[in-house]
Chain A
Amino acid sequence: MSTIVATGLTKNYGKVRALVGVDLAVKEGEVFGFLGPNGAGKTTFIKIMLGLVFPSAGGIDVFGSRAGDTTVRRRIGYLPENMRLQGFLKGREFLDLSGKLYGLSREVRKERIGRYLELLGLKDAAHRPLREYSKGMLQRIGIAQALIHNPDMLLLDEPTSGLDPIGTKEIRDIILAEKWRGKTIFINSHLLSEVERTCDRVAILDHGKIVKVGKLDTLSSRRATIMVEVIEKSEKLHEGLKRVAEEVRVKDNTYIITPKDDQTMAHIPGIIVEAGARMVSIKEDRESLEDIFLSAIKQEGKK
């Protein structure tokens, strides 16, 4: 079942086309990464889902209802990019206000605020005004307010932006924990390594258009290269590998194999045994998300 369904979504800001006929479906329980360079239209997509911006054409359904409805927003936890907060509020007060806006009772608010302050390491800062919070602390309290009502879906706009490695790992752990709890998580990001570590599927957006969408392991247009390292090269092994490969290159004691099909990898151990070779290692070298992203953006630029 799909949680988010965008159909022909278009958004124009005057002459600027932020989104151009975007069609996208995000499944329930999925961690979905929305990638794109700055100005690609990622934040506009999220804002339309929340009713902060209105589409010029097409639309998005979230949980089967039109995006922007208050019933839809009740089921969403949202972390804006560069979260701005009212500096006069104390951390605990801000979470309490968020809880009230989600309609939580006093008892539930009290329990959840305590839980998330503890979980996000903000317990000691709970009574300090937000103007005194560091960037990392603001990001963490932003996550807390997004989680406080136990939403079915999280919309995270650049969740690890500006965080140090420890903060980044903490946020990643929270995202993964929510994933195991069955939440749908939609992440806008340009930090490809983070997306690679957390997302099940990604879409690459450029100039308002989706240029690629799919699972990480199927996004690459080329098959993973197989690297077979042996103690000593042999002609017999080389010939055997050629039979199942599109191309075999040799570098030192390593055969770099471009597979012929999906079965290539399965044949290789048998060929090594048949050739009497002694193997050191065998590994697949997949195209990184960064490579996929850059090539998709480059191809789109050529059009």
Chain B
Amino acid sequence: MRQILAIAGNTIKEGLRNKMFYILLGVALIFVLIGRGCMSGSMNIRNRELSPEQMVSFGTTIGFFIITFWGLTLAGLLSTGAILSDIETGVITTFISKPISRLEYLLGKFAGVLAVVLLNVAVLAVGFSILAFLRASVFPFSLLLALGIFALNIVLLISFIFLISLVTSRVIAMVFGILGYVFSTAFDILVYFDAVREKMVGSASALTKISIQIIYFALPQWGSTWFYSSSFINDFFSQSMSFWPVVHTLLYIGLIWIVTAFVFSKKEF
């Protein structure tokens, strides 16, 4: 355990000493302020003026989008280089030649990247919540709950990129991570929302529908987990929100870790 914490601590240090990290944080803070701005003034949707509470809910939703996007971007950037740069530079031999198992090294790296990302998500979330409280005297606890569930997506993305980065290059790992996320989210929209599904594949053959279901369960459910978590702060996706994507994501994370640990144990440096 001490070795895992040592590697994690070193990874956190690496993340926090990276200038790119602060540039991205600055950009995210600007967007959070924009989200807070959405709570100001008045707004009409379908000729109906939103109440202050609805304005807060709308602003919170914008804040949730920004924070989740920022969290995923940072997770992608940090996890792509976390192991690969150690392998490419040969630094990894300095670590794993010491009395630390390969799994401990991986877990340490993972914990470090996750800690940096969650720390930033937490800073943004708390900052946004305080701004929201000052605007409407309502503390958006639902945002924190939604982000807590959304953290599973971050865990899954980091794990997924770790696995890809063990068998390919840095750029391909990043591209795979982004494509995987976007493709899975798009597919989840197709399957998760009754209205979309009916429109897209309503008249399709039974075989097509079964194939779509199989692909849906075979792919990571980033989109579904995101819809589920966002359902805590708004009713945009009110249709049949179930806890299932969370379970699916947890299982997926477990599966990816089993494969990652196996691939890493066979790798030579």
Contact = CB atoms under 8 A, between A and B. Distances in A.
B2 A103 contact: yes
A101 B3 contact: yes
A101 B98 contact: yes
Contacts of B17: 88
Contacts of A110: none
B90 A73 contact: no
Contact of A103 (B7, B14, B96, B99): B99
A84 B90 contact: yes
A85 B98 CA distance: 14
A83 B94 contact: yes
B93 A86 contact: no
Contacts of A63: none
Interface footprint category on B: 20 to 34
Contacts of B100: 70, 101
Contact of B99 (A74, A83, A89): A74
A45 B97 CA distance: 14
B197 to A, nearest CB: 49
Given A88-B13, A97-B6, A52 B96 contact: yes
Given A52-B269, A86-B14, A89-B13, A102 B94 contact: no
Tell me the dominant secondary structure on chain B's binding face.
helix
A54 B267 CA distance: 9
A220 interface: no
Interface in B1-34: 2-3, 5-7, 9-10, 13-14, 17-18
Contacts of B18: 88
Nearest to B7: A101
A74 B98 CA distance: 7
Contacts of A84: 89-91, 94
A89 B16 CA distance: 12
Interface residues of A, number: 28
A205 to B, nearest CB: 19
Interface centre among A51, A74, A93 (most CB of B within 10 A): A51
Nearest to A155: B97
Interface in B92-111: 93-101
A101 B6 contact: yes
Nearest to A105: B2
B10 A97 contact: yes
A78 B14 contact: no
A71 interface: yes
A33 B100 CA distance: 27
Contacts of A80: 90, 93-94, 97
Contacts of A103: 2-3, 99
A86 B91 contact: yes
Nearest to A82: B90
Contacts of A73: 97-99
A101 B91 contact: no
A236 interface: no
Contacts of A89: 10, 13
Given A84-B94, A103-B2, A71 B99 contact: yes
A15 to B, nearest CB: 16
Nearest to A53: B268
A50 interface: yes
Contact of A54 (B93, B94, B268): B268
Per CB-CB distance, the 10 closest pairs between chain A and chain B, nearest first, are: A100-B6, A74-B99, A101-B98, A84-B90, A70-B99, A50-B97, A73-B99, A88-B17, A53-B268, A52-B269
Interface of B: 2-3, 5-7, 9-10, 13-14, 17-18, 89-91, 93-101, 268-269
28 contacts: A47-B93, A47-B269, A50-B93, A52-B93, A52-B96, A52-B97, A53-B269, A54-B268, A70-B99, A70-B100, A70-B101, A71-B99, A73-B97, A76-B97, A78-B97, A80-B90, A80-B97, A85-B91, A85-B94, A86-B91, A88-B14, A88-B18, A93-B13, A101-B95, A101-B99, A101-B100, A102-B98, A145-B94
Interface of A: 47, 50-54, 70-71, 73-74, 76, 78, 80, 82-86, 88-89, 93, 97-98, 100-103, 145
